[in-house]
């Protein structure tokens, strides 16, 4: 995977997280206080995750996460479950209230980010599908911003991108823009590009432009056109291209074809 990502010219490599059984599992297994729970459907897919179960407020077991990131000679990226998605999907069986548990999960994730940064990870992609699948109402926005407080400083130790998928990001954009991350990614299979009408100049805009929910390859020219349009209209700090949803929903060969589409699109946009 590291080799493939390098060959495709990706700016950041991840190793594909092939050993991860679901988004939460490595973090649950690196914790004290969290255990794996019932098998649960992963949004609108035929893949399943073990729901994290909070038995007591979680703490990071030092060193448990960093070992899975060997030095590769290229900048490393990794995925971090977002505190909103993590705390909302977790089963709270502790004696603490949901808000206290959610805050503890955020602190736990911040400690994980710090440890991974020390291990050489330079880009943190914070996955927050639930923010667009089950957007918080106005009243909860302050709570969500509070949830990101513990993570804010930790994420500054590297680059960060918040990635949303499985839902339309346009209605939630006012909140997404305020979160303390370096960029915001949207799922272009769920979000009409024309519905994205404002952004901020200080953050990068991530375009989830190759879709692992279909085996049909996208046309790099279409992606380049959308990217140029959004870049021109919204003037983000930069444009980041990526998959709309993680590519592990595809088998190897179609995933490689899509990865190729991604690098072709980037070259087209750069005018190479």
Partner 1 sequence: MNKLFPTQEVGSLRKPFWLVEGLRGNVLSAEAFAEMRKWAKTVAIPEGQDPRIGKLLDGKVGDLTAQDLREVGSLFALRYLEKAGLDLVYDGEMRRVEMYEHPIRNALGFKFLGHVRSFDNKYYLKAACVDEVGLKGPYDVDEFKFVREHAKGIPKVPVTGAYTLADWSWNEYYLKKLKGWKGPEERRTAQREFGVELARKVVRPTLLALVEAGAKVIQIDEPAAGTHPDETDLVVETFNESTYGVDAKLTMHICFSDYRCLFPRVLDAKRCKQFLLEFANRDVEGIDGYKDLEYLADVDNSREVGVGVLDIHRDTIETPEKVCERILKATRILKDPSRIYVNPDCGLRTRSLDVAWQKLNAMVNGAKLARSRIG
Residues binding partner 1 (CB under 8 A) = 21, 37-41, 44-50, 53, 91, 93, 189-190, 192, 214-216, 248-254
Two structure tokens written together for 185: 């990614």
* Residue 195 CA: distances (Å) to CA of 168, 171, 199, 230: 9, 9, 11, 10
- Cα distance between residue 25 and residue 49, in whole Å: 8
Taking the complex as a whole, the smallest distance from the CB of residue 54 to partner 1 amounts, in Å, to 11
- When the beta carbons of 55 and 152 are compared against partner 1, the nearer one is 55
Nearer to partner 1, 11 or 47 (CB): 47
Which helix (H) or strand (E) element contains residue 109? helix 98-118
CA dist 28 and 90 (Å) reads 10
Identify which of residues 128 and 218 has a Cβ nearer to partner 1 in the complex. Answer: 218
Taking a C-beta distance cutoff of 8 angstroms, is the pair 162, 197 a contact? Answer: no
C-beta of 93: minimal distance to partner 1 in Å? Answer: 5
The rounded distance, in Å, linking the Cα atoms of 272 and 265 is: 10
Question: Can you tell me the distance from the alpha carbon of 228 to that of 40, in angstroms, rounded to the nearest whole number?
Answer: 39
CB of 77 to partner 1, least distance (A): 20
Q: How far is the CB of 112 from partner 1 (least distance, A)?
A: 22
**Closer residue to partner 1, CB minimum distance, 142 or 221:** 221
Nearer to partner 1, 29 or 152 (CB): 29
In angstroms, what is the minimal distance from the CB of 75 to partner 1?
27
């Amino acid at each position: 995977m590291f080799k493939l990502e390098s060959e495709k010219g990706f700016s950041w490599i991840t190793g594909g997280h092939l050993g991860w059984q679901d988004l939460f599992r490595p973090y649950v297994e690196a914790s004290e206080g969290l255990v794996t729970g019932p098998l649960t459907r992963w949004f609108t897919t035929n893949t399943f995750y073990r729901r994290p179960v909070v038995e007591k407020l979680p703490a990071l077991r030092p060193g448990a996460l960093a070992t899975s990131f060997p030095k590769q000679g290229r900048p490393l990226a990794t995925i971090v479950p977002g505190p909103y998605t993590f705390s909302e999907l977790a089963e709270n069986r502790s004696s603490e209230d949901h808000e206290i548990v959610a805050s503890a999960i955020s602190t736990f994730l911040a400690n994980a980010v710090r440890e991974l940064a020390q291990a050489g990870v330079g880009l943190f992609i914070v996955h927050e599908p639930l923010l667009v699948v089950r957007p918080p109402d106005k009243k909860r926005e302050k709570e969500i911003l509070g949830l990101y407080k513990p993570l804010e400083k930790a994420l500054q130790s590297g680059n960060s991108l918040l990635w949303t998928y499985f839902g339309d990001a346009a209605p939630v954009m006012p909140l997404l823009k305020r979160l303390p991350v370096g960029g915001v990614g949207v799922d272009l299979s769920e979000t009409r590009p024309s519905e994205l009408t404002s952004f901020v100049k200080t953050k990068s805009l991530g375009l989830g432009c190759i879709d692992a929910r279909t085996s049909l390859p996208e046309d790099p020219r279409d992606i380049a056109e959308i990217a140029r349009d959004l870049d021109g209209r919204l003037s983000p700090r930069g444009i980041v291209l990526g998959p709309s949803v993680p590519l592990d929903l595809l088998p190897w060969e179609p995933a490689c074809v899509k990865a190729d589409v991604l690098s072709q699109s980037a070259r087209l946009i750069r005018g190479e």
